[in-house]
Amino acid sequence: MKGHDQAREILKHLANCANDISKEYDNKNHILLVLTGKGDSIESALRNIPKIKRYGFVVDIALSSSAEKILEDKNISIPLQVEKVLTEKEENLVDESIQIAKRIVVPSITQNTAIKLATGIQDQFIPRLLWQCLWKGKLVQINFNQLLNYKGSSSQQPFLEEMIKENIEKLKKMGVMSLDEKEYYLEFLDKDKNSVKSKEKILNNADEEDKNIQINKNQKVITKKDISLLPNSQKQINFPKDTIITPLAYDKAKEKGIQLIKG
């Protein structure tokens, strides 16, 4: 079995461990989380899943081929709280997830996927899935914030920017609702009266969880991923002299306002 296929099978097995626990919620607060886009966006979306699950939501996830590759290349784990992991190989299982999903959430979308969806092109797994959701009248929420930035920069050609804006408007006319980039689940929490706890309790609990995130200072190598998991309230970390801190970790720390000190 190839490494990529083996990784997928392991992730599916871990995710399915939660099946029995979450059955009671199947028809209450079921979310289909669609992951495509950049690695940071995917990782951020996955980090929110345990918080969502804890407060009464059931989560299936659908992965684009690029998202699958990002998960494998960056060794990002899918939380055990996910009930089903859907990829192009499991497309025959999508109908059931769409049927029971209360909403379809896309925390980050690529220009490629957005343009295909807006123009009805269904030649890949994620555009087909989203088209099917809209066709069946499901609530689809997409974060459009990153669409005007291609590979981290805005367009220097006004016509191209106008094209993207027109496609966003098409998607909205098709019934797509816009979604906030950060803590996306809080936007719909208040509307789901069957959720276990209130929005305020989730926010407070999430803050406490973030405060408890720490780096093992005995690690020999500190990477960008380690720094990205730290709360913004963390301002300084001291490491032994022999600790290796990658350049990307330093960049991420600078972005978050965290000072890394060796020695």
Neighbours of 49 (CB within 10 A): 20
157 falls within a domain? yes
Degrees to nearest 5, angle at CA 15 with 69 and 100: 100
**What per-residue confidence (pLDDT) applies to 1?**
46
pLDDT band per the 50, 70, 90 thresholds, residue 177: very high
**What per-residue confidence (pLDDT) applies to 20?**
42
50 falls within a domain? yes
Q: Same domain, yes or no, for 183 and 116?
A: yes
Q: Which of 148, 172, 200 is the last residue of a domain?
A: 200
158 falls within a domain? yes
What pTM does this model have?
Answer: 0.65
Question: Which position has the higher pLDDT, 195 or 161?
Answer: 161
Q: What is the mean pLDDT of the chain?
A: 78
Q: Same domain, yes or no, for 178 and 67?
A: yes
Q: Same domain, yes or no, for 226 and 180?
A: no
pLDDT tens sequence across 69-86? 888 887 777 776 788 899
Where in the sequence is the domain holding 245, given as residue range(s)? 213-262
147 falls within a domain? yes
Mean pLDDT, range 130-150, rounded to an integer: 92
Q: Same domain, yes or no, for 82 and 114?
A: yes
Distance CA 104, CA 142 (A): 8
Q: Same domain, yes or no, for 250 and 151?
A: no
Going through 5-145 in order, the beta strands assigned E by DSSP cover: 30-35, 58-63, 82-86, 103-106, 140-142
**What per-residue confidence (pLDDT) applies to 48?**
81
Least confident of 5-9, 51-55, 236-240: 5-9
Q: Which of 200, 228, 246 is the last residue of a domain?
A: 200
Q: Same domain, yes or no, for 71 and 192?
A: yes
Q: Same domain, yes or no, for 90 and 183?
A: yes
Q: Which helix (H) or strand (E) holds 239?
A: strand 236-239
153 falls within a domain? yes
Q: Which helix (H) or strand (E) holds 158?
A: helix 158-173
Distance CA 223, CA 43 (A): 14
196 falls within a domain? yes
- Alpha carbons within 13 angstroms on the beta-carbon side of residue 74 total 19
pLDDT tens sequence across 74-122? 777 777 678 889 998 888 888 888 998 989 999 889 999 999 999 999 9
Q: Same domain, yes or no, for 161 and 228?
A: no
* Tally of structural domains, the chain: 2
Q: Same domain, yes or no, for 57 and 124?
A: yes
Say yes or no to pLDDT of 63 above 90.
Answer: yes
Name, in order, each residue with C-beta under 8 angstroms of 49's C-beta and a sequence gap of 6 or more.
33, 59, 61, 79, 81, 82
**What per-residue confidence (pLDDT) applies to 181?**
58
Angle between helix 158-173 and helix 111-119 axes, rounded to 10 deg: 50
**What per-residue confidence (pLDDT) applies to 217?**
58
Name, in order, each residue with C-beta under 8 angstroms of 144's C-beta and a sequence gap of 6 or more.
109, 114, 168, 171, 178, 179
Top-ranked range on mean pLDDT: pick from 45-54, 66-75, 90-99, 157-166: 157-166
Q: Same domain, yes or no, for 30 and 151?
A: yes
Q: Same domain, yes or no, for 159 and 43?
A: yes
Euclidean distance between the first and the last CA atom of the chain, given in angstroms as a whole number: 45
pLDDT band per the 50, 70, 90 thresholds, residue 26: very low
207 falls within a domain? no
Say yes or no to pLDDT of 188 above 80.
Answer: no
Nearest CA-CA partner of 18 in 85, 64, 76, 67: 85
206 falls within a domain? no
Q: What is the CATH number of the domain that holds 191?
A: 3.40.50.1950
Q: Same domain, yes or no, for 248 and 139?
A: no
Alpha carbon 208 to its chain's center = 21
Distance CA 145, CA 181 (A): 7
